Structure 1
Amino acid sequence: MRRLFIATFLVPPLLLYGIFVVSPYTQAFQISTTNWTGLSPTFEFVGLANFQRLLDDGYLWNALRHNGLLLLFLPLVTILLGLFFASMISVGGRADRVGVHGVRGAGFYRVVYFFPQVLSVAIIGVLWKEMYAPHTGMINGLLRAVGLDRLAVAWLGDPRFSFWCVLAVLIWMNVGFYVVLFSAAMQSIPRDLYEAALLDGAGRLVTLVRVTVPLVWDTIQVAWVYLAIIAIDGFAVVQIITDGGPSASSDVVGLRLYKTAFGDGQFGYASAIGVAMFFLTLTVAVMFLRVTRRDRVELQ
């Protein structure tokens, strides 16, 4: 009876997961070995020709370079900002008779930082695209208002800035979540440790590095992997804000896959790009988990 009860609840969701998640992944592997156009009912088996083509695709390597930059800067900057803001919110206030505590209005700051998570990616993309607009955008408007007209440029239309504008949006839209995540992790750290560090003369930076980071390292490790996956993808934000930018200056692999499939009608080759992304994401995730692995710090 117990097994029947468990099977009743497990089999339907597992079946749905297999049909709508596992099956498309499996089909992508099969399609990647064909020259299917996406519309034709017929196709030819080409073996590994699509994967060989990946090695000579300049557009793909350009997109992969941008993903590499995202992989370098997005997790690093987001986690550093998240730790800093979370530390200020949790233990950044001045010590008094109550002990070590966060800054005044910490709850309000949490809401402000988390607000971008409430918005959909589409809304964020359209919002920032309008803010970057050369003539009507808020950014150039503020620059002109303070007399910095020469700094007002076509941000998204300039190959020098297009990619970095996208990176700034990705950081802005993700940092709030990790502020809240790190704040929650810091709540489990006894305030006695912070008070002891304060009595020993440790400043806020030293306390953050020597006390906070080791005790929330497991959370940081998970954040790093999630942000690495976002960096390898990055499709939605790039597609909405720049659509690859001028001269593909902000192109990413996800957008290259989309354009190859739905723009060029090369679903076989696009599936090969997807398979390569799958193994790249898996490799990066495993690598990050291994590189960032360290002994757990136990609180006695």
Structure 2
Amino acid sequence: MARKQTVRGRVSKPGPALQHGKYLFIVAFLLLPVGIYGLFVVSPYVQAIFISMTDWTGLTASQKWVGFDNYVKLFADEQFLVALKNNAILLVVVPAVTVLLGLFFASMLNVGRRGKSGVEGVRGSSVYKIVYFFPQVLSVAIVGVLFKYVFAPTEAGGILNGFLRAIGLDSIALPWLGDPNFAFWCVVLVMIWSFVGFYVVLFSAAMQSIPKDIYEAALLDGANRFTTFRHVTLPLVWDTVQVGWVYLAIQAMDAFAFVHIMLGISGGPSRAGDVLGVALYRSAFNDYRFGYASALGVVLLVLTLIVAVLFLRVARRERVELS
């Protein structure tokens, strides 16, 4: 008698024709979006890299190939080094101060005191959130023009100097945007003021997802506010902090709009407030050196990618999850 064999649990594999149809469907589905992405995102990067290796004015059809000459000139340009230094200052100061202020204000607005119903924000926290977020309603152009008049060096247009003189503090009335030592730092302050409100709301949303029972337990164990923030709040919102830090770093690497509006295309007095974005714009549309400007853009792109990767790696840590 023939021996019967049964095979259980075997899953038949799809045939070659079915697999071919699956791959064809995937390719057909991705062809259009990948093509659009390549045309409008990847293609401009490739063109910029090519133009950076030419001596092109932007006004002629012909482009003279010069290889890496623009990059050699770039790193020999003292003004480029000034702009690079200012971008480095922005990269360190703006994210650090903005994140610290955002975390502090968000902590006060969400777990700032112990009320009758448990841990809650300070009184009037809902109003404070609106006040902090208000700068986000204003466009960068409006913020830049507003603070250009606030820090203007003239007595007629300088709102800050006019206020200081009105209260008898003439001695500390300075030519803010007209002084090479203060012009750039005025821009830094404005950028922090403009960004911090958004991160207060962002960190507040992350903190509201933390159960209040954890804070109650920490208070019962005798933890003070700083200890609770360090060991409870910060680990549980770290993913949000990490994303905000990287985004702030990218914004700080740009800073074109604030510097251009407040200090002009020259980057302020003695070009002391120059940044890479303004130097790129000036080289392209004021000096008509599109090849040199493209080299600046490529350097800015590479630096931004490096900064984003480094920030993600440095800020990476184990995820803390609530059970």
Q: TM-score range by the shorter chain?
A: over 0.9
Unaligned runs of at least 5 residues, structure 2? 1-21
Which of 215, 236, 255 is the matching residue for 1:194? 215
> 1:8 and 1:133 mapped to 2: Cα distance?
58
Range with bigger deviation, 274-283 or 128-137: 128-137
Which of 274, 277, 282 is the matching residue for 1:251? 274
Q: TM-score, normalised by structure 1?
A: 0.94
Alpha-carbon deviations, 1:211-247, whole Å to 9, x = none?
A: 1111111111111111111111111100000121111
How far apart are residue 287 of structure 1 and its match? 0.5
Q: TM-score, normalised by structure 2?
A: 0.88
> 1:49 and 1:76 mapped to 2: Cα distance?
36
Mapping of 1:8-157 within 5 angstroms? 14-93=34-113, 95-134=114-153, 135=155, 136-157=157-178
Aligned residues: 299
1:281 aligns with 2:281: no
**Aligned residue number for residue 293 of structure 1:** 316
**Aligned residue number for residue 235 of structure 1:** 256
> 1:82 and 1:6 mapped to 2: Cα distance?
44
- Higher relative CO (CA 8 A, sep ≥ 6), structure 1 or 2? 1
CA RMSD of aligned residues (A): 2.0
Range with bigger deviation, 200-209 or 70-79: 200-209
**Aligned residue number for residue 12 of structure 2:** none
Identity of matched residues, %: 61
**Aligned residue number for residue 184 of structure 2:** 163
**Residue 64 of structure 2: SS of its match in structure 1?**
coil
Change (3 A) 1:9 1:141: farther
Alpha-carbon deviations, 1:62-110, whole Å to 9, x = none?
A: 00000000111000000000000000111113x1330001112222111
Q: Which amino acid in structure 2 is aligned with residue 57 of structure 1?
A: D
Structure 1 stretches of 4+ with a deviation exceeding 6 A read 2-10
Q: Which amino acid in structure 2 is aligned with residue 156 of structure 1?
A: L
> 2:29 and 2:172 mapped to 1: Cα distance?
60
**Residue 185 of structure 1: SS of its match in structure 2?**
helix
Range with bigger deviation, 4-13 or 127-136: 4-13
Change (3 A) 1:187 1:157: same
Range with bigger deviation, 13-22 or 201-210: 13-22
